[in-house]
């Protein structure tokens, strides 16, 4: 069963990747969004505003039932009728009943993700009702019989000419395939007529204010105002998670929502409706207003210790806008109804295992969504959490079982790594990269060459290259990490070259093992905890000034994941925190602790790739670029410097087609800079970038930051 | 005060609103009447006081413009300009706050091609939070309908290209009223 669904999912990914127009549209969208967002965030403290949203939401979520009661009382006092639907079916039924009782024939809708969630249109149509979406993007996809591909911009996967063709059919008239303004005009005229004659309007809502029983809707087109004003009956459908206590809470969310959604300071219209307002079209002279709240798992979710924070989502869509995967395939393959990172989480809770199974694995853990989420949701962690639950329910894949056995047993693990050297030897033909993979690995996986495991790992070389110092001024615990230790020992050697003569002692504890990130990525939390304890014991942070690693992913995992993984373990929690406090990345260490002498200009032209776990995981941006420039390299920048390279550890094995596509976008930009060297500070990124450039036959050399700097020093000495 | 108005003006213009100072209501009415002349000749102006409606009617007569003040559902498609009075302005975002509990006000401000809103200078505040009490007062009217309006209606749903005039007015004119007496 699961193999068939995997095959199908990969086929859909493939066809999305093969759609050239889609790729271009999404790339353009992501670029424009990034610029607009940056401009809209100018002069505001995103973190502070986001913290306020978190506070507001975290105050509301544990007491949704109470807020619902309060809202209901206030709204009913203002003449509304308030309903609570336990699930999608009930919600559809409630709305169909309202329509039947009120003798409704035609319905106009403004945008509501909640109505998408319950597949409302299809049901109402099956009841013989005419349903017309009035948000331009929603109308377009309704006419095409498609689902939205984005929560804010539902038709963003379509070109102007496709829309023109569609509107030709609607109007029976030729449409200029390049004239967007005239297409908007067609929609304005067609939909104005529908709105004026409809019996019922259905809207969503962005907030429900418990204190006053008010619904607020945020739109740009103005259709929500017309849909809530013109027809005699108004049904608002919204999730219980939209409840907030008071106006102040709503304003706090409103301050960041449009900035985050579209790079706007505020949307054109924010509409606040309290109760059954005047309506000349209604027989009573007052609107018939029904407010339908949908539970569909929300109340249970709001009590979940891990996943409750998913309900903080304010549906800004930003987690799709910044996601490298969404940017390649769009929302039809990267989401179910809810799209992007939050879609990967909510699908499991709202639409079940079948819909969620393949989606939940499809995440690079690049953290881009997390740092951009105005609601402070740790999306990649929740995505891994969903994948973990799916493993529990359906049985973990074989690789997880192997991982449990191998990773927790350091001797066995390292024995296997050493054996890998012998196994790879015949494939490498004496080179450092394997260009042609054995046949069971070809096809999708051939986009990058793979490095060979080194003949002797860094740990074996250490005693001879880093002998103990008599009276060091600093003692640093060095954490190798698997790639650095067993595949790229030369990176560690370069580091030692840079600290030589600085009175800094670097200790390599032999008992250290894999940091455990691969286990966490595979949702094997228990394994991740076990290796965390082993490493904490081995590294002995209490007796060192710093814990240094050349791998940004390891650094971020040691620093952020260890304290979280061991939070409930009284014996280890404090040690995990002590270690976390001392973790330092290569660039910060070289710049702030070691201090390197500036070198004359004239070094190679170098582009830089910022590892996800360095720039977002550790918030380090300036140090590596500064070090390169100080060492005399000519630093050349490009747009996507801080976008993921597509590696993501085992992600690149599970989704080679996506990994390749994301890598290609990066390498195209790097090549366009004219750089001779590509520098980064994570061995995982080195593997991906070097392998990809090698397959392209490129002459650009890939270097770890430590290597680039050591080479610069050598060059300066010559 | 001047800074607030400057900020409001800048922000409203940044989202394609037209912002003009007017000395008094008479000037505002003239502006609306003149604008309507060029836009089909029928002005919807509900929700004004008796005396105000009278002087507006004069301005309209002078400009050869028809004035409608109620029953706007029957006039849809005839009136092209809607004239309303905004309660507050928010400088930070260039936003108007319009109490729209009166259905006629909603129709005039939504179904017109151009929406002209008169905003007394003294009612402009720095941000939403500086207006919180006033907004709460409007919200506490039950039933009620309050609108924040920032620039004309817009969409970017096709290829992310910004286009004005999706479903609401294609133009928004904010008349900053110096003498609100
Ligand atoms: S999860 Fe965060 S970024 Fe994604 S839509 Fe929700 S609020 Fe926006
Ligand atoms: S972590 Fe990266 S790949 Fe995963 S959902 Fe977030 S942005 Fe997308």
Residue A140: φ, ψ to 5°: -60, -50
A360 lines ligand 2 (CB under 6 A): no
Q: Could you tell me which chain A residue has the CA closest to the CA of B169?
A: A222
Q: Give domain status of residue A152, yes or no.
A: no
User: Between A153, A195, A275, which is nearest B160 by CB?
Assistant: A153
* pLDDT tens track for A401-416: 888 888 888 888 888 8
Instruction: Measure Cα distances from A119 to A84, A167, A631, B36 in Å.
Output: 17, 24, 59, 44
* pLDDT tens track for B105-134: 999 999 999 999 999 999 999 999 999 999
Q: Do A584 and A610 reside in the same domain of the chain?
A: no
Asked, as a colleague might, if the bond just before B143 is cis with ω within 30 of 0, I would say yes
Boundary residue ending a domain (A590, A625, A652): A590
Domain that holds residue A581: 410-590
Q: Do A476 and A447 reside in the same domain of the chain?
A: yes
The full set of domain ranges for chain B reads 2-177
| The pLDDT value given to residue A416 | 85
Binary contact (A280, B141; C-beta < 8 A):
no
Q: Whose C-alpha lies nearest to ligand 2, atom 6?
A: A369
- Mutation target for A interface from B156, B161, B171: give the one with most A CBs within 10 A: B156
Q: Could you tell me which chain B residue has the CA closest to the CA of A74?
A: B142
Binary contact (B139, A274; C-beta < 8 A):
yes
- Is the pLDDT reported for residue A274 higher than 50? yes
User: Between B128, B147, B155, which is nearest A136 by CB?
Assistant: B155
- Is the pLDDT reported for residue A330 higher than 60? yes
Q: Do A605 and A583 reside in the same domain of the chain?
A: no
Q: What sign has the CA pseudo-torsion A374, A380, A386, A388?
A: negative
Q: Give domain status of residue A620, yes or no.
A: yes
Interval between CA A343 and ligand 1 midpoint (Å): 9
Binary contact (B168, A247; C-beta < 8 A):
no
The model's confidence at residue A1, banded by pLDDT at 50, 70 and 90, is very low
Rounded to whole angstroms, the Cα distance separating A236 from A239 reads 10
Q: Whose C-alpha lies nearest to ligand 1, atom 4?
A: A319
B130 and chain A in contact, CB less than 8 A:
no
- Write the DSSP assignment of A645-672 as a string of letters: -S-TTTHHHH-HHHHHHHHHHHHHHHHH
- Is the pLDDT reported for residue A442 higher than 70? no
Q: Give domain status of residue A88, yes or no.
A: no
Judge whether A331 and A394 are in contact, CB under 8 Å.
no
Q: Where are the alpha helices (DSSP H) in A61-130?
A: 64-77, 88-101, 113-117, 120-126
Please tell me the least confidently modeled range out of A31-40, A53-62, A83-92: A31-40
Interval between CA A376 and ligand 1 midpoint (Å): 8
- Mutation target for A interface from B131, B142, B167, B168: give the one with most A CBs within 10 A: B167
A206 lines ligand 1 (CB under 6 A): no
The model's confidence at residue A437, banded by pLDDT at 50, 70 and 90, is low
Beta strand pairing call for A214-219 and A269-274: antiparallel
Q: Give domain status of residue A80, yes or no.
A: no
Binary contact (A266, B168; C-beta < 8 A):
no
- Mutation target for A interface from B12, B17, B78, B166: give the one with most A CBs within 10 A: B166
Q: Do A565 and A427 reside in the same domain of the chain?
A: yes
Instruction: Taking residues A523-535, report their average pLDDT.
Output: 93
* pLDDT tens track for A646-685: 999 889 989 999 999 999 999 999 999 999 999 999 999 9
Please list every residue in chain B whose beta carbon sits closer than 8 Å to the beta carbon of residue A286: 143
Closest to A514 in 3D by CA, of A548, A540, A481: A481
User: Between A160, A184, A254, which is nearest B166 by CB?
Assistant: A184
* pLDDT tens track for A188-229: 999 999 999 999 999 999 999 999 999 999 999 999 999 999
| The pLDDT value given to residue A435 | 67
Q: Could you tell me which chain B residue has the CA closest to the CA of A214?
A: B139
Please work out, in degrees rounded to the nearest 5, the angle formed at the alpha carbon of residue A110 by the alpha carbons of A255 and A222. Answer: 60
Q: Do A690 and A546 reside in the same domain of the chain?
A: no
Q: Which ligand has its closest atom nearest to the C-alpha of A643?
A: 2
A645 lines ligand 2 (CB under 6 A): no
Interval between CA A224 and ligand 1 midpoint (Å): 22
Q: Kindly report the nearest CA distance between residue A504 and chain B, in angstroms.
A: 53
Binary contact (A279, B160; C-beta < 8 A):
no
User: Between B128, B132, B149, which is nearest A269 by CB?
Assistant: B149
Q: Could you tell me which chain A residue has the CA closest to the CA of B157?
A: A137
Between A and B, how many residue pairs show a Cβ–Cβ distance under 8 A?
Answer: 172
Instruction: Taking residues A329-336, report their average pLDDT.
Output: 93
Q: Do A613 and A558 reside in the same domain of the chain?
A: no
For residues B47, B51, B56 and B59, what is the CA-based torsion angle, rounded to 10 degrees? Answer: 180
A30 lines ligand 2 (CB under 6 A): no
* pLDDT tens track for B61-71: 999 999 999 99
A706 lines ligand 2 (CB under 6 A): no
Q: Give domain status of residue A698, yes or no.
A: yes
Please list every residue in chain B whose beta carbon sits closer than 8 Å to the beta carbon of residue A140: 157-158
Q: Kindly report the nearest CA distance between residue B37 and chain A, in angstroms.
A: 23
Rounded to whole angstroms, the Cα distance separating B123 from B9 reads 14
* pLDDT tens track for A338-361: 999 999 999 999 999 989 989 999
Rounded to whole angstroms, the Cα distance separating A271 from B149 reads 9
Q: Do A489 and A575 reside in the same domain of the chain?
A: yes
Q: Which ligand has its closest atom nearest to the C-alpha of A383?
A: 2
Q: Kindly report the nearest CA distance between residue B56 and chain A, in angstroms.
A: 25
Boundary residue ending a domain (A566, A590, A614): A590
Tell me which CATH homologous superfamily contains domain B2-177: NagB/RpiA/CoA transferase-like (3.40.50.10420)
More confident call, A424 vs A641: A641
Q: Do A525 and A579 reside in the same domain of the chain?
A: yes
Q: Give domain status of residue A713, yes or no.
A: yes
Binary contact (B159, A274; C-beta < 8 A):
no
CATH of the domain at A647: 3.40.50.1860
Q: Which ligand has its closest atom nearest to the C-alpha of A258?
A: 1
Interval between CA A293 and ligand 1 midpoint (Å): 21
Boundary residue ending a domain (A590, A617, A632): A590
User: Between B73, B160, B166, which is nearest A222 by CB?
Assistant: B166
Judge whether A171 and A190 are in contact, CB under 8 Å.
yes
Rounded to whole angstroms, the Cα distance separating A218 from A153 reads 14
Residue A333 structure tokens: 């393959």
The model's confidence at residue A426, banded by pLDDT at 50, 70 and 90, is low
Please list every residue in chain B whose beta carbon sits closer than 8 Å to the beta carbon of residue A157: none
Closest to B142 in 3D by CA, of A243, A248, A80, A202: A80
Q: Could you tell me which chain B residue has the CA closest to the CA of A276?
A: B143
Rounded to whole angstroms, the Cα distance separating A190 from A168 reads 13
A325 lines ligand 2 (CB under 6 A): yes
Q: Kindly report the nearest CA distance between residue B10 and chain A, in angstroms.
A: 13
A323 lines ligand 2 (CB under 6 A): yes
Q: Give domain status of residue A310, yes or no.
A: no
B90: Cα within 13 Å, side-chain hemisphere:
23
User: Between A156, A214, A267, which is nearest B139 by CB?
Assistant: A214
Judge whether A18 and A661 are in contact, CB under 8 Å.
no
Q: What is the atom index within ligand 2 of the atom nearest the CA of A380?
A: 1
Q: How many domains does chain A have?
A: 2
Q: Kindly report the nearest CA distance between residue A99 and chain B, in angstroms.
A: 22
Q: Which ligand has its closest atom nearest to the C-alpha of A377?
A: 1
| The pLDDT value given to residue B140 | 87
Interval between CA B169 and ligand 1 midpoint (Å): 30
Q: Do A524 and A544 reside in the same domain of the chain?
A: yes
Q: Do A414 and A547 reside in the same domain of the chain?
A: yes
Q: Give domain status of residue A456, yes or no.
A: yes
Residue A184: φ, ψ to 5°: -60, -40
Report yes or no on whether pTM surpasses 0.90.
Answer: yes
Instruction: Measure Cα distances from B157 to A150, A154, A339, A361, B168 in Å.
Output: 11, 7, 17, 30, 15
Q: What is the atom index within ligand 2 of the atom nearest the CA of A322?
A: 7
Interface ipTM: 0.97
Q: Kindly report the nearest CA distance between residue A333 and chain B, in angstroms.
A: 19
Binary contact (A158, B158; C-beta < 8 A):
yes
Q: Do A570 and A611 reside in the same domain of the chain?
A: no
Arithmetic mean of pLDDT over chain A: 93
């Amino acid at each position: 069963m699961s193999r068939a669904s995997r095959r199908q999912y990969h086929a859909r990914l493939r066809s999305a990747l093969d759609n050239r127009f889609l790729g271009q549209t999404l790339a353009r969208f992501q670029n424009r969004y990034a610029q607009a967002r940056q401009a809209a965030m100018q002069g505001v403290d995103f973190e502070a505003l986001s913290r306020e949203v978190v506070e507001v939401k975290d105050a509301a979520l544990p007491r949704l039932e109470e807020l619902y009661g309060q809202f209901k009382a206030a709204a009913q006092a203002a003449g509304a009728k308030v309903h609570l639907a336990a699930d999608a079916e009930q919600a559809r039924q409630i709305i169909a009943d309202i329509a039947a009782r009120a003798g409704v024939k035609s319905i106009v809708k403004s945008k509501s993700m909640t109505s998408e969630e319950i597949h409302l249109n299809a049901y109402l149509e099956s009841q013989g009702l005419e349903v017309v979406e009035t948000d331009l993007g929603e109308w377009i996809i309704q006419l095409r019989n498609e689902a939205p591909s984005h929560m804010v911009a539902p038709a963003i996967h379509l070109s102007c000419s496709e829309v023109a063709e569609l509107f030709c059919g609607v109007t029976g008239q030729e449409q200029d395939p390049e004239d967007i303004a005239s297409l908007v005009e067609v929609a304005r005229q067609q939909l104005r007529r529908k709105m004026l004659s409809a019996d019922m309007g259905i809207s969503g809502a962005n907030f429900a204010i418990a204190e006053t029983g008010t619904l607020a809707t945020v739109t740009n087109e103005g259709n929500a105002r017309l849909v809530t004003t013109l027809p005699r009956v108004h049904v608002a459908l919204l999730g219980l998670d939209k409840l907030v206590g008071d106006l102040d809470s709503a304003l706090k969310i409103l301050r960041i929502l449009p900035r985050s959604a579209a790079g706007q300071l505020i949307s054109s219209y924010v509409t606040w409706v309290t109760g059954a307002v005047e309506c000349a079209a209604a027989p009573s002279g007052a609107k018939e207003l029904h407010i339908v709240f949908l539970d569909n798992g929300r109340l249970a979710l709001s009590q979940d210790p891990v996943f409750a924070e998913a309900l903080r989502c304010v549906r800004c869509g930003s987690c799709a806008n910044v996601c490298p995967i969404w940017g390649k395939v769009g929302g039809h393959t990267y989401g179910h109804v809810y799209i992007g990172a939050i879609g990967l989480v909510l699908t499991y809770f709202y639409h079940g295992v079948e819909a969620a199974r393949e989606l939940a694995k499809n995440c690079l853990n690049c953290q881009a969504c997390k740092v951009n989420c105005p609601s402070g949701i740790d999306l990649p962690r929740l995505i891994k959490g969903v994948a973990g639950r799916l493993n529990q329910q359906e049985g973990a894949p074989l690789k997880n079982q192997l991982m449990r056995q191998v990773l927790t047993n350091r001797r066995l693990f390292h024995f296997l790594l050493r054996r890998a050297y012998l196994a790879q030897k015949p494939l490498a033909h004496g080179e450092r990269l394997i260009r042609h993979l054995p046949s069971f690995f070809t096809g999708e996986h051939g986009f990058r060459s793979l490095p060979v495991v080194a003949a002797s790992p860094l740990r074996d070389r250490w005693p001879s290259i880093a002998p103990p110092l008599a009276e060091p001024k600093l003692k640093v615990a060095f954490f190798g990490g698997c790639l650095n230790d067993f595949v790229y020992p030369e990176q560690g050697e370069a580091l030692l070259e840079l600290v030589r003569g600085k009175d800094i002692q670097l200790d390599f504890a032999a008992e250290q093992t894999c940091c455990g990130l691969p286990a966490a990525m595979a949702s094997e939390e228990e394994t991740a905890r076990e290796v965390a304890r082993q490493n904490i014991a081995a590294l002995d942070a209490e007796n060192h000034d710093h814990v240094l690693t050349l791998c940004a992913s390891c650094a971020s995992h040691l620093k952020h994941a260890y304290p979280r993984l061991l939070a409930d373990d009284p014996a280890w929690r404090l040690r995990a925190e002590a270690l976390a406090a001392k973790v330092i990345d290569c660039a910060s260490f070289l710049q702030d602790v070691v201090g390197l002498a500036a070198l004359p200009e004239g070094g190679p032209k170098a582009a830089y790739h910022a590892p996800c776990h360095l720039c977002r995981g550790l918030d380090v941006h300036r140090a590596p670029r500064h070090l390169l420039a100080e060492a005399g390299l000519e630093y050349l920048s490009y747009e996507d410097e801080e976008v993921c390279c597509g590696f993501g550890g085992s992600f690149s094995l599970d989704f080679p087609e996506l990994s390749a596509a994301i890598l290609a976008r990066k390498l195209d930009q790097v090549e366009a800079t004219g750089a001779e060297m590509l520098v980064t500070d994570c061995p995982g990124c080195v593997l991906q970038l070097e392998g990809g450039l090698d397959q392209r036959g490129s002459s650009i050399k890939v270097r770890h930051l430590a290597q680039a700097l050591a080479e610069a020093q050598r060059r300066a000495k010559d | 005060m001047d800074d607030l108005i400057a900020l409001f003006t800048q922000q409203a213009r940044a989202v394609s609103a037209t912002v003009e100072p007017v000395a008094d209501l008479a000037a505002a009415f003239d502006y609306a009447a003149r604008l309507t002349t060029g836009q089909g000749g029928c002005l919807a102006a509900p929700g004004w006081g008796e005396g105000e409606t009278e002087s507006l009617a004069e301005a309209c007569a002078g400009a050869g413009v028809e004035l409608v003040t109620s029953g706007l559902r029957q006039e849809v498609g005839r009136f092209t300009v809607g004239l309303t009075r905004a309660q507050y302005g928010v400088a930070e975002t260039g936003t108007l706050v319009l109490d729209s509990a009166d259905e006629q006000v909603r129709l005039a401000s939504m179904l017109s091609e151009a929406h002209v809103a008169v905003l007394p200078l003294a009612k402009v505040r720095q941000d939403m939070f500086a207006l919180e009490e006033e907004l709460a007062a409007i919200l506490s009217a039950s039933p009620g309908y309050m609108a924040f309006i920032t620039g004309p209606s817009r969409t970017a749903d096709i290829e992310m290209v910004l286009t004005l005039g999706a479903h609401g007015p294609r133009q928004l004119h904010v008349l900053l009223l110096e003498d609100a007496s």
